[in-house]
Amino acid sequence: MAGIIAPNGLNFNFVENILHIDPSYATLVGGIGLIVTAVRNPEGIAGTPRLLAMQKAERKARKAALLKQQAELNRENEGAT
């Protein structure tokens, strides 16, 4: 992220050389990008993979619990017949 919004970074070169816009607007574009990033990733950029891993682990645990519950119900039903 720092390489994109830093002076002479990707954002500044793109705005100046490709779009031919005054370089002072590159700071505005970088600031808006930073705000959007902060709003979309309140945990931070590094927190997103951790959050996704936690969600995946929770889904896996719920699925395992559901399968266990279904197996117990099947055993009870087999014993009743």
The pLDDT of residue 22 is: 80
Same domain, 31 and 4: yes
- Mean pLDDT of all residues in the chain? 82
Same domain, 7 and 23: yes
- CA-to-CA dists, residue 30 to 7, 19, 48, angstroms: 10, 15, 21
What's the whole-model pTM score?
Answer: 0.46
Same domain, 23 and 57: no
For residue range 6-30, list pLDDT tens digits in order: 666 777 777 788 888 787 777 787 7
Q: Give the number of domains in the chain.
A: 2
Distance of CA 43 to the CA centre of its chain: 9
Percent above pLDDT 90 for the chain: 25
Same domain, 6 and 29: yes
Residue ranges making up the domain that contains 81: 48-81
d(CA 62, CA 10): 43
Same domain, 31 and 52: no
Same domain, 34 and 54: no
pLDDT confidence band for 63 (50 / 70 / 90): very high
